[in-house]
């Protein structure tokens, strides 16, 4: 996305949030946030006191009441703006997705074999449609016949088409994507309004967002604190009357607003929405906020080997001469055997040979022909213009070919072959004519940076387990190279479920990734199941997160985002409560200083007057909300560390900081008010 377009989008979101913040003053909306609803009630009361000073039968200063009323209004608007801004980002993404969702004409295959064109809105689950090149896929479904390239850029942002075919783990298709080539027959899997794209839109714009368990628990705590301080402020009036102190109603309301946790109350919803928004901008769709929250508490991650920890393609890592052959001779023969091999393994052999000094000119293959790999022969190679041949293939197949054509078997061939197998690799023998020159060591290479990423997870206190269908020797080798904590070899689908249940029985939360129908039970059992968008419908329906980029390693980033969400909420709650402690020293002495001179000792800030102290605290209480909006939206920077260190860091940074900042801020506002003559 261009910079100009980003700015235009940001400006639109800000403008919409500005307007929506006023709409949220509706009491029916505000009552969903009890803390801010109390502030709105206080705003209405001070507004009445401003318009009709003696309405409650007490003397009141309309100017003072008006200032308090205005500050309360601004406080509510700032809180509403924070929530509207978080929602606005999601709605902007939803609008972009809605442009992708368009009514199309579907070619419905009828029972009599004829094709009838119908609007996509008429399609129902179980219908079968035919889609050809350059046609949009009308709804979610599963390929039951054919193979085609599909452009999913409208959903994933990835420009490269993906192959979809029947009968595998890459058979599901998404409505709104386009078939680039060939023809496929698709069975529709969703009724109108229930497609993956529909659910994405609802989730992204917040239409289906439900509060998470932690959010509900924190909200309950905030409501409890609000009720406690409400009772305190109500009982202050008779206590003040007993000591002959007249406390204006506006002052009591200001005290209540400053004491209740308005900062976190105003930002709580925005934090939750922004957390899901961060996951969405990472091209992961979370089916609920609970899934994002659970990701932050994960103890164990179960990962597949192939395509997750490793590239999934065997790559040449070494050429091993046998039978007295020279290293250069072995390397050259391996390269020449792969001139016409366009597989990833063949290309990796060429690349490794070049690194080891084989000249590019020798690999041109002029006048040569390729020997195609066949399942019967299990060999491939090159026939040169002079009739000579160089082959590579399975060791037993090459041995049989050599013996059949009068060759001999090197004495050290079997030992070297066994050593490669023990290390988890795949050996290919190299044959020049009838002479076996050496072995190509193919290995499923661990992705770059995986060891460092697993080290980072370890610092988070998360255990990593690799599941693979490979034999124990291969599994152990890959596990050691990747740096995972444990592995399960020769794993079947039921083994994954058993492992998840075993971890959960110990009170741990488990995350896993998967893309196949056989992964669906385990994805459903896991606390966080991340399904690949390229996978089957069963996998996506079982999981509570879907990765649009189909990158299995993204589970690591999802965990970091979940932890960041929990940290942000905890940090701002700590800061908010610490703020309230500091405000006590501004307002409580101010209310009683005139009647009880000894209270002056508590005026440690040296504020100018009781009225100035109250207004300064109230103004600070209002402006701290917009100052914290960027932090609520972006999130607290996550640094991997133990829970105890994290707690100490938060208490020092946001706890101590939450006490110091109000002292500085309130004093600065008091000095400013004194300078302009309002104190």
Tokens of 304: 């597949």
Tokens of 590: 């101010």
Question: Is 308 annotated for ligand binding?
Answer: no
Q: Who contacts 345 (Cβ-Cβ below 8 Å, separation ≥6)?
A: 313, 314, 315, 316, 442
Contact 614/46 with Cβ under 8 angstroms?
Answer: no
Contact 49/599 with Cβ under 8 angstroms?
Answer: no
Question: Is 378 annotated for ligand binding?
Answer: yes
Question: Is 341 annotated for ligand binding?
Answer: yes
**Closest of 315, 301, 314, 312 to residue 466, by C-alpha:** 301
Question: Is 110 annotated for ligand binding?
Answer: no
Max intra-chain CA distance, the chain: 118
DSSP H helices in 519-595: 520-525, 537-542, 555-592
- In angstroms, rounded to a whole number, what is the distance separating the alpha carbons of residues 158 and 550? 10
With tokens 């199941």, the residue in question is 529
Question: Is 519 annotated for ligand binding?
Answer: yes
With tokens 């390729």, the residue in question is 370
Number of C-beta neighbours around residue 460 at 10 A: 22
Contact 496/465 with Cβ under 8 angstroms?
Answer: no
Cα atoms in the 13 Å half-sphere on the side-chain side of 338: 27
Contact 646/567 with Cβ under 8 angstroms?
Answer: yes
- In angstroms, rounded to a whole number, what is the distance separating the alpha carbons of residues 480 and 485? 9
Catalytic residue positions, numbered:
304
| H helix count then E strand count, the chain | 23, 20
Contact 558/284 with Cβ under 8 angstroms?
Answer: yes
Tokens of 283: 């091209």
Q: Containing H/E element for 669?
A: helix 657-675
Contact 364/370 with Cβ under 8 angstroms?
Answer: no
| Spacing of C-alpha 358 from chain mean position | 45
- In angstroms, rounded to a whole number, what is the distance separating the alpha carbons of residues 216 and 277? 19
Judge residue 295's burial from the number of C-beta atoms within 10 Å of its C-beta, 0-12 exposed, 13-18 middle, 19 or more buried. buried
- In angstroms, rounded to a whole number, what is the distance separating the alpha carbons of residues 103 and 625? 43
Residues β-bridged to residue 154: none
Positive/negative CA dihedral, 220, 224, 226, 230: positive
Tokens of 309: 């920890």
Question: Is 380 annotated for ligand binding?
Answer: yes
Number of C-beta neighbours around residue 198 at 10 A: 19
Question: What string of H, E and C letters represents the secondary structure of 421-469?
Answer: HHCCCEEEEEEECCEEEEEEEEEEEECCCHHHHHHHHHHCCCEEEEECC
Tokens of 434: 């009838």
Question: Is 495 annotated for ligand binding?
Answer: no
Question: Is 189 annotated for ligand binding?
Answer: no
Contact 533/541 with Cβ under 8 angstroms?
Answer: no
Cα atoms in the 13 Å half-sphere on the side-chain side of 118: 16
- In angstroms, rounded to a whole number, what is the distance separating the alpha carbons of residues 374 and 270? 60
Question: Is 101 annotated for ligand binding?
Answer: no
Contact 544/529 with Cβ under 8 angstroms?
Answer: yes
Contact 610/63 with Cβ under 8 angstroms?
Answer: no
The DSSP code for 302 is E
Question: Is 178 annotated for ligand binding?
Answer: no
Question: Is 376 annotated for ligand binding?
Answer: yes
Annotation: binding site: 341, 345, 373-380, 392, 515, 519
Annotation: binding site for ATP: 341, 345, 373-380, 392
Annotation: binding site for Mg(2+): 515, 519
């Amino acid at each position: 996305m261009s910079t100009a377009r980003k700015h235009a989008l940001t400006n639109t979101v800000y403008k919409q949030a500005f307007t929506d913040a006023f709409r949220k003053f509706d009491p029916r909306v505000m009552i969903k946030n009890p803390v801010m609803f109390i502030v709105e009630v206080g705003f209405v009361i001070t507004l009445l006191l401003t318009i009709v000073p003696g309405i409650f039968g007490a003397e009141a200063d309309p100017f003072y009441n008006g200032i308090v009323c205005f500050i309360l209004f601004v406080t509510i608007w700032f809180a509403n703006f924070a929530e509207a801004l978080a929602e606005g980002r999601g709605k902007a993404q939803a609008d972009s997705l809605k442009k992708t969702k368009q009514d199309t004409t579907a070619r419905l295959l009828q029972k009599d074999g004829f094709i009838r064109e119908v609007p996509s809105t008429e399609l129902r689950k179980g219908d079968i449609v035919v889609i050809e090149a350059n046609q949009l896929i009308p709804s979610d479904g599963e390929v039951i016949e054919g193979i085609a390239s599909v452009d999913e850029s409208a959903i994933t942002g990835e420009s490269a088409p993906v192959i979809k075919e029947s009968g595998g783990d890459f058979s599901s298709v998404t409505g709104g994507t386009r078939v680039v080539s060939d023809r496929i027959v698709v069975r529709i899997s969703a009724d109108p309004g229930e497609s993956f794209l529909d659910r994405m839109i609802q989730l992204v714009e917040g239409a289906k967002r439900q509060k998470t368990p932690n959010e509900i628990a924190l909200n309950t705590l905030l409501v409890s604190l609000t009720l406690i301080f409400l009772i305190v402020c109500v009982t202050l009036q008779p206590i003040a009357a007993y000591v002959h102190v007249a406390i204006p109603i506006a002052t009591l309301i200001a005290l209540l607003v400053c004491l209740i946790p308005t900062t976190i109350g105003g930002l709580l919803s925005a934090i939750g929405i922004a957390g899901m928004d961060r996951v969405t901008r990472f091209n992961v769709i979370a089916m609920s906020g609970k899934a994002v929250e659970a990701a932050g508490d994960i103890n164990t991650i179960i990962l597949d080997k192939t395509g997750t920890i490793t590239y999934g393609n065997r790559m040449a890592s070494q050429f091993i001469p046998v039978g007295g052959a020279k290293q250069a001779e072995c390397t050259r023969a391996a390269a020449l055997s792969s001139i016409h091999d366009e597989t990833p393994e063949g290309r990796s052999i060429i690349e490794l040979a070049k690194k080891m000094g084989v000249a590019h000119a020798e690999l041109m293959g002029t006048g040569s022909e390729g020997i195609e790999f066949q399942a019967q022969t299990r060999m491939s190679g090159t026939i040169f213009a002079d009739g000579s041949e160089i082959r590579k293939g399975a060791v037993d197949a090459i041995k049989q070919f050599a013996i059949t054509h009068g060759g001999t078997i090197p004495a050290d061939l079997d030992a070297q072959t066994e050593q490669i197998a023990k290390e988890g690799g795949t050996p290919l023998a190299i044959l020049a004519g009838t002479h076996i020159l050496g072995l190509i060591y193919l290995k499923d290479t661990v992705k770059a940076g995986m060891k460092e990423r697993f080290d980072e997870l370890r610092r988070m206190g998360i255990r990593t387990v690799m599941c693979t269908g490979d034999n124990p020797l291969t599994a152990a080798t890959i596990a050691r190279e990747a740096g995972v904590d444990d592995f399960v070899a020769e794993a079947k689908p039921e083994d994954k479920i058993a492992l998840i249940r075993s971890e959960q029985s110990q009170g741990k939360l488990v995350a896993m990734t998967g893309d196949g129908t056989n992964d669906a039970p385990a994805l459903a059992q896991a606390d966080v199941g991340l399904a690949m968008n390229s996978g089957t419908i069963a996998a996506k329906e079982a999981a509570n997160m879907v990765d649009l980029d189909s990158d299995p390693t993204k589970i690591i980033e999802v965990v970091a985002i979940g932890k960041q969400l929990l940290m942000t909420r905890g940090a701002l709650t700590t800061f908010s409560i610490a703020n309230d402690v500091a405000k006590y020293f501004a307002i409580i002495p101010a209310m009683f200083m005139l009647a009880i001179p000894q209270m002056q000792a508590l005026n440690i800030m040296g504020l100018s007057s009781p009225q100035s102290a109250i207004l300064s605290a109230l103004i600070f209480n209002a402006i701290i909300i917009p100052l914290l909006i960027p932090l609520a939206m972006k999130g607290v920077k996550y640094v991997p560390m133990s829970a105890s260190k994290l707690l100490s860091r938060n208490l020092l940074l946001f706890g101590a900081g939450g006490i110091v900042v109000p002292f500085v801020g309130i004093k600065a506002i008091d000095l400013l008010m004194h300078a302009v003559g309002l104190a």
